[in-house]
């Protein structure tokens, strides 16, 4: 189907092969991944068994409603899809990245979460360039 004839919003999803969804994979990354903290997030990264970067997210309830939790998940998913994955691909980082929201993420704006993830990604890419 041509891009012009797609319904609005289609094609903007995070591709399945770029997602980390299985509980066992998430637990493994939490256990063996390198953790970096930001103001509202914990970001774990470890080498990917796939030939490309993959991302996942964990948003605990932290005594918030499901509506608030879903809002945080949507914000993080969008930031991962539009900014983090393209930057990881561009700098040729083959890593699994798992983002875990801290309780403060519920009060953060989309812009604040996006800025934290972009800064983390830039640091990660510069680390990859320096080790090459």
| pLDDT tens, position by position, 78-94 | 999 999 999 999 999 89
Reply yes or no on whether the pLDDT at 109 is more than 60. yes
Q: Is residue 81 assigned to a domain? A: yes
Q: How far apart are CA 119 and CA 130, in angstroms?
A: 17
29: CATH: 3.30.230.10
Q: Is residue 130 assigned to a domain? A: no
Q: Is residue 8 assigned to a domain? A: no
Give the range of the structural domain holding residue 102, as residue numbers without chain letter: 18-124
Q: Are 101 and 57 in contact (CB under 8 A)?
A: yes
Predicted pLDDT of residue 11:
59
Q: Is residue 86 assigned to a domain? A: yes
Query: pLDDT (tens digit, 9 = 90+) per residue, 15-66?
Result: 888 999 899 999 999 999 999 999 999 999 999 888 899 999 999 998 999 9
Which conformational region is residue 62 in: left (phi greater than 0), alpha (psi within -120 to 50 degrees), or beta?
Answer: left
Q: Is residue 117 assigned to a domain? A: yes
Q: How far apart are CA 104 and CA 101, in angstroms?
A: 8
Task: Please give the average per-residue pLDDT across 4-20, as a whole number.
Answer: 68
Vertex 54: Cα angle to 37 and 28 (nearest 5) = 65
């Amino acid at each position: 189907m041509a891009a012009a004839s797609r319904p609005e919003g289609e094609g903007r999803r995070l591709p399945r092969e770029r997602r980390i969804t299985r509980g066992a994979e998430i637990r493994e990354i939490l256990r063996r991944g390198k953790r970096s903290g930001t103001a509202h997030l914990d970001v774990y990264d470890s080498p990917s068994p796939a030939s490309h970067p993959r991302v996942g997210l964990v948003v605990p309830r932290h005594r918030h409603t499901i509506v608030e939790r879903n809002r945080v998940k949507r914000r993080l998913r969008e930031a991962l899809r539009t900014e983090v994955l393209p930057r990881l691909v561009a700098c040729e980082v083959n890593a699994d990245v798992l983002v875990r929201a801290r309780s403060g993420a519920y009060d953060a704006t989309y812009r604040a979460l996006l800025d934290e993830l972009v800064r983390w990604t830039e640091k990660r890419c510069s680390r990859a360039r320096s080790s090459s």
